[in-house]
């Protein structure tokens, strides 16, 4: 009898083990449990002007032949997140043990509640839904705008004026139409979502002031994004655009700051007068041109992955009292900070050429951490590109014997910036660049970027900033 009972118990244990094994094999977990999603970012594109909430959804797919069991679906921000999730009827910041049958899907609902009057909120409210299965973690980003903004989503706009009553948010690019004039008032802040381009086919007039500059930047306002490049594309002036003016602007954290001109265009290249402007933290170039006309004064261009200035396919350029400083540290840089050329090689079969009318630099600084920060490359005009560096502090490895184009050039002297690592390009008290500017160019720009009188001591400094300890505002 005891032997028979022991046999039955053994059989039951074996059957239970087989059943448990089958149960385990029924589910996919861990690294095998890859999920698919109907989107990678869920946007809440409602502008909140009062306390309100909205609900959006997305789908989670199981592409496998077995059921996927998700250990946890959770909000990365936890209980403090303004978002809430509902998964298959279960709510919370965390929902556990969620199953999706083979080749099936489920809807995940997300709600957000934001009080725009509840304090100093960031423009962008951001979180993620995390899907955790064993060692595998997948996520879907959640994006909502937490204060009232002027929202432009993939629009072409006509003549109008933007006032500084609330920020402007560009999603999926914008274009100032041909013949239209966009005027941007002092103090306006323009936030650009990832991948967005600010196109100008007509005319752009930015009218900032020393106390209320116009700011173009990304839409991530967390402190860690203050100086991260590549957050949006940049300002792009198309051929046919004309009479553009930028004064007292700060343009940062894009792929390029300002680009002018495009290939395969019959319209004339654009023109731009840019003054008292900071362009910084670009993955590619601060200012780039395809045969355009640029007149710049009192500008700082710094921290770019390839070029501060890329002036190609000819054009007509003048830079007075500009600081061009490149100490890019995000990745290796082998390109010079400033390049001039009368051509552009697009690919093996497409080379575009144009005439360089002039490229003149006066009372400026062209410097960085590479041995050669200024290069002129000629194709169509031989080696006689008509450029002029007059009273310019320059970093260049080659000995310069050309006194016609390199007229009064100070080679390879440390400019004396306050701190290149903190992007502070004011001149310190012992700066080499102090008092070395020529008088006549300074008369054209008698006040510096911060409205200091650069003529007061009789000896203008090089660059966009006059030393504060020797001048009076």
Dump pLDDT digits (tens) for 78-130. 998 889 999 988 998 999 999 999 999 999 999 887 755 444 455 677 899 99
Give the CA radius of gyration of the chain: 29
Residues 6+ away with beta carbon under 8 Å from 265: 238, 239, 240
Write out pLDDT tens, residues 301-325. Answer: 999 999 999 999 999 999 999 999 9
141 and 167 part of one domain: no
62 and 158 part of one domain: no
- Nearest 5°: phi and psi at 65? -90, 0
Share of residues in the chain with pLDDT > 90 (%):
71
130 and 182 part of one domain: no
pLDDT of residue 22: 42
pLDDT of residue 222: 67
Pick the range with the lowest mean pLDDT from 151-165, 263-277, 372-386. 372-386
* Number of structural domains in the chain: 2
110 vs 87: CA distance, rounded Å: 9
The residue from 115, 145, 175 where one domain ends is: 145
Query: pLDDT higher for 34 or 322?
Result: 322
103 vs 122: CA distance, rounded Å: 40
In a domain, 12, yes or no: no
The residue from 86, 113, 145 where one domain ends is: 145
In a domain, 447, yes or no: yes
In a domain, 19, yes or no: no
135 and 212 part of one domain: no
361 and 446 part of one domain: yes
165 and 87 part of one domain: no
pLDDT of residue 257: 98
In a domain, 23, yes or no: no
Residues 6+ away with beta carbon under 8 Å from 390: 360, 361, 362, 363, 407, 408, 438, 441
Query: Smallest Cα–Cα separation from 237: which of 211, 267, 258?
Result: 258
105 and 189 part of one domain: no
Write out pLDDT tens, residues 10-25. Answer: 444 444 444 444 444 4
414 and 282 part of one domain: yes
In a domain, 333, yes or no: yes
Could you identify the residue written with the tokens 């590479």?
Answer: 370
| Residue 430 clears pLDDT 60, i.e. is over it | yes
Give the mean pLDDT of 324-343: 95
Residues 374 and 336: beta-carbon distance below 8 Å: yes
213 vs 127: CA distance, rounded Å: 31
Query: Smallest Cα–Cα separation from 319: which of 237, 215, 402, 441?
Result: 441
In a domain, 69, yes or no: yes
Q: CA-CA-CA-CA torsion for 75, 78, 84, 89, nearest 10 degrees?
A: 70
Give the C-alpha distances (Å, rounded to integers) separating 118 from 115, 148, 292, 348: 5, 13, 47, 58
51 and 128 part of one domain: yes
CATH number at residue 38: 2.60.40.10
261 and 398 part of one domain: yes
165 vs 149: CA distance, rounded Å: 9
Token pair in block for residue 358: 């002039």
Which DSSP string do the residues of 252-291 spell out, in sequence order?
A: ESBSEEEEE--SS--SPPPEEEEES-EEEEESSEEEEEES
The residue from 91, 126, 145 where one domain ends is: 145
- Nearest 5°: phi and psi at 47? -90, 125
Other Cβ atoms less than 10 A from the Cβ of 72: the count is 14
In a domain, 290, yes or no: yes
169 and 136 part of one domain: no
Q: Which domain holds residue 378?
A: 150-470
């Amino acid at each position: 009898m005891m032997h028979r009972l022991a046999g039955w118990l053994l059989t039951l244990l074996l059957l239970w083990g087989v059943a448990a094994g089958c149960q385990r094999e029924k589910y996919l977990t861990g690294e095998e449990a890859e999920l698919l999603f109907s989107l990678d970012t869920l946007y809440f594109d409602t502008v909140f002007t009062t306390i309100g909430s909205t609900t959006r959804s997305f789908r989670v797919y199981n592409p496998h032949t077995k059921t996927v069991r998700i250990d946890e679906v959770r909000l990365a921000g936890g209980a403090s997140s303004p978002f809430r999730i509902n998964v298959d009827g279960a709510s919370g910041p965390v929902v556990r043990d969620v199953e999706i049958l083979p080749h099936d899907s489920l809807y995940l609902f997300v709600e957000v509640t934001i009080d725009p009057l509840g304090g100093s909120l960031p423009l962008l409210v951001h979180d993620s839904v995390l899907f955790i299965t064993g060692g595998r973690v997948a996520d879907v980003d959640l994006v909502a705008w937490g204060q009232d903004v002027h929202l432009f989503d993939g629009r072409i706009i006509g003549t109008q004026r933007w006032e500084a009553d609330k920020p402007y948010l560009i999603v999926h690019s914008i274009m100032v139409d041909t013949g239209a004039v966009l005027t941007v008032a002092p103090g306006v802040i323009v936030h650009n979502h990832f991948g967005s381009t600010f196109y100008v086919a007509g005319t752009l007039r930015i009218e900032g002031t020393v106390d209320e500059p116009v700011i173009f930047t990304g839409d991530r306002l967390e402190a860690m994004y203050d100086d991260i490049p590549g957050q949006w594309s940049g300002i792009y002036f198309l051929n046919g655009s004309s009479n553009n003016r930028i004064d007292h602007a700060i343009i940062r954290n894009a792929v390029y700051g300002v680009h002018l001109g495009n290939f395969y265009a019959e319209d004339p290249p654009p023109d731009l007068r840019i003054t008292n402007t900071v362009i910084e933290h670009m993955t590619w170039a601060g200012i780039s041109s395809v045969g355009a006309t640029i007149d710049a004064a009192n500008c700082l261009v710094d921290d770019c992955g390839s070029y501060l200035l890329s002036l190609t396919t000819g054009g007509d350029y003048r830079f007075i009292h500009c600081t061009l400083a490149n100490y890019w540290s995000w990745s290796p840089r082998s390109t010079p900070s400033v390049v001039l050329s009368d051509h552009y090689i697009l690919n093996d079969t497409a080379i575009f050429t144009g005439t360089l009318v002039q490229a003149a630099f006066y009372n400026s600084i062209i410097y960085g951490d590479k041995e050669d920060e200024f290069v002129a490359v000629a194709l169509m005009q031989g080696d006689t590109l008509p450029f002029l560096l007059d009273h310019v502090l320059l970093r260049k490895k080659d000995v310069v014997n050309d006194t016609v184009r390199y007229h009064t050039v100070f080679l390879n002297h440390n400019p004396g910036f306050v701190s290149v690592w903190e992007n502070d390009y004011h001149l310190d008290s012992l700066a080499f660049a102090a008092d070395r500017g020529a008088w006549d160019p300074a008369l054209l720009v008698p006040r510096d970027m911060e409205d200091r009188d650069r003529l007061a001591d009789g000896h203008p400094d090089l660059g966009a900033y006059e030393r504060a300890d020797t001048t009076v505002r």
